Amino acid sequence: MSAMKQLTILMYHYVRPIKKSIYPGIKGLEFESFKRQLDYLSNIHTFITAEQLIAYSLGNQELPLKPCYLTFDDGFKDHIDYVMPELLSRNIQGSFFPPADAIVKREMLDVHAVHFILASTSDYHALVVELNGAYREYGGTTSNLESLQNTWYIASRYDSAEIMYVKHMLQHALPLHIRSQIVAKLFKKYVGRTQSDFAEELYISTLDTKTLIENGMYVGSHGCRHLWLNKESKSSQILEIDLSLQFLKKVGAPTKDWIMCYPYGAYNNNTLNILKSKNCSIGLTTKSGFADLDQSNMLELRRFDTNDFPQ
């Protein structure tokens, strides 16, 4: 048994003082829990940097025993307000994966709008009724709705069937133009803020992204519009990846031997071929488990969710 062949990668999204915030219902990691988790991980593991992982993938360097690698998705302000200072105080590097459009255009991604809609109510049944009503209003039929409910009204590891139904419907099950309208309508009703104001507060800016890099953090690609790449044509995937690389270049992040973090963990063979042609070294999925450090398969590394470890 070789302990060196497995890497523990952790995946984080929201990390903030949640209970004290105005959205105590947001599904994320309490900042205090994050600190405890870092204590726990520090006792067991050796944290590695993105550069060490890339050097390993190129065959240039071995990794320490019990390596652990920390990743932060989606470019939240949390990452510069809470995560970076905490990591700096512990001399740990984090890897950050902001979706380019959210950062540059200050656009709210639907996936996050849905999180704050859900965090703004506890009556999920009423939310489902509201969602179904909006779906009919924007042209959905009752028979389609029944089949959608049969497919997506299913509880997950972390969420009830009602919550999962809202997430599935508004993140991918409905056609983009319908779900964007429904998200906008529900966001207005439940959150009561404009999405542009909200995006300004939710996401790091271009300047913040540069600050992460100046402080020794790693910034990699999380796409441009945060799309399900496996549902896009090859040319659309190329565009999406190229735009994210332009963003990385602009903020001073590496674009040769770089790291891709698939939005929603979604990719296909086209994605892998595109990444190989663009000198991508590492691909991060959302499949749960230890990352198998087989150098031939570094574009499909598994990650643990923060909830899989003591907090």
Q: Which residue has the tokens 């004290």?
A: 20
CB of 203: closest distance to Zn ion in angstroms?
Answer: 12
| 101 is a contact residue toward Zn ion (CB under 5 A) | no
Give whichever of 45 and 172 is closer to Zn ion, judged by the CB atom.
Answer: 172
The two beta strands, 6-12 and 67-73, are parallel
Residue 7 to residues 70, 83, 195, 276: CA-CA distances in angstroms? Answer: 11, 21, 38, 22
- The pair of structure tokens assigned to 187 is 């966001």
- The pair of structure tokens assigned to 69 is 């690698």
Cβ pair 278, 238 in contact under 8 A: no
Give whichever of 74 and 110 is closer to Zn ion, judged by the CB atom.
Answer: 74
Give whichever of 148 and 241 is closer to Zn ion, judged by the CB atom.
Answer: 241
Q: What's the longest Cα–Cα distance across the chain?
A: 59
> By CB under 5 A, which span of 66-74, 175-183, 207-215, 281-289 interacts with Zn ion?
66-74
The two beta strands, 6-12 and 15-16, are unpaired
- Ranges within 19-38 binding Zn ion (CB under 5 A): none
> By CB under 5 A, which span of 116-124, 130-138, 154-162, 257-265 interacts with Zn ion?
257-265
CB of 305: closest distance to Zn ion in angstroms?
Answer: 13
Q: Which residue has the tokens 């690609």?
A: 221
The two beta strands, 95-97 and 67-73, are parallel
- Ranges within 147-206 binding Zn ion (CB under 5 A): none
CB of 58: closest distance to Zn ion in angstroms?
Answer: 26
- Ranges within 259-288 binding Zn ion (CB under 5 A): 263
Give whichever of 253 and 293 is closer to Zn ion, judged by the CB atom.
Answer: 253
Task: Work out which of 34, 70, 74, 199 binds Zn ion, going by CB under 5 A.
Answer: 74
Burial of 183 (0-12, 13-18, 19+ CB in 10 A): buried
306 Cβ contact partners less than 8 Å away, ≥ 6 residues apart: 10, 11, 12, 29, 34, 37
Task: Give the whole-angstrom CA distance, residue 141 versus residue 156.
Answer: 26
| 73 is a contact residue toward Zn ion (CB under 5 A) | yes
Q: Which residue has the tokens 């574009």?
A: 299
Give whichever of 34 and 76 is closer to Zn ion, judged by the CB atom.
Answer: 76
CB of 46: closest distance to Zn ion in angstroms?
Answer: 27
CB of 260: closest distance to Zn ion in angstroms?
Answer: 12
17, 15, 23: which is closest to 193 by C-alpha?
23
| 110 is a contact residue toward Zn ion (CB under 5 A) | no
Fill in the DSSP letter of residue 221: B
Give whichever of 111 and 299 is closer to Zn ion, judged by the CB atom.
Answer: 111
Give whichever of 148 and 260 is closer to Zn ion, judged by the CB atom.
Answer: 260
Give whichever of 47 and 76 is closer to Zn ion, judged by the CB atom.
Answer: 76
- Total residues at interface with Zn ion (CB under 5 A): 3
CB of 218: closest distance to Zn ion in angstroms?
Answer: 16
Give whichever of 82 and 203 is closer to Zn ion, judged by the CB atom.
Answer: 203
Task: Give the whole-angstrom CA distance, residue 124 versus residue 130.
Answer: 10
Task: Give the whole-angstrom CA distance, residue 229 versus residue 232.
Answer: 5
CB of 36: closest distance to Zn ion in angstroms?
Answer: 24
State the residues that interact with Zn ion by CB under 5 A.
Answer: 73-74, 263
